[in-house]
Amino acid sequence: MNRVLAYVAPVALIVVTVACGGTAPAPAAPVAEAVAATAPKPAGTLSLLEPIEGAMGGHIDMFRWSAVEGADGYVIKITAVIGDRVVWESPVMTATETKLPATVALEPEPHTWLVTARKAGQPLLTSATQKFTITP
């Protein structure tokens, strides 16, 4: 009698065959297909569209990014490079673009920005960080 014990680890598939008086091939294909069907799918990418990496200007106030499938909100974070201080972190918004509020003034210095896509109040995916510079 043969028994096949299968343990599916998050990253690897381990199949152990215990032989008791005979041999039987391990059902690798069906188990592997089941693992592939339940494996988490990558969330995709979140691209920052405007301002582009390295942008320079005396007045930059429009920020745009790509939509993320499954996201129900986005948070933008702008940080001054000097002192690594957060200049503005938006409330959760559903749009994929925003203008800075009139109450936020970006000083003439380098800044970075990133966007975090959210789903049900939890972070889903965060973009890479891009740099832009406000010039005098």
Residue 43 within a domain: no
d(CA 79, CA 107): 11
Per the structure, the complete domain to which residue 55 belongs is given by 48-134
Residues 17 and 81 occupy one common structural domain = no
Report the CATH number at residue 122. 2.60.40.10
Residues 9 and 65 occupy one common structural domain = no
Predicted TM-score (pTM) of the model is 0.68
Q: Which amino acid would we find at residue 75?
A: V
Q: What's the structural domain count of the chain?
A: 2
Residue 22 within a domain: yes
d(CA 45, CA 70): 12
Residues 68 and 106 occupy one common structural domain = yes
Residues 28 and 66 occupy one common structural domain = no
pLDDT in tens, the chain (136 residues): 444 433 333 443 333 333 445 554 555 544 444 434 443 445 589 999 999 999 999 999 999 999 999 999 999 999 999 999 999 999 999 999 999 999 999 999 999 999 999 999 999 999 999 999 999 9
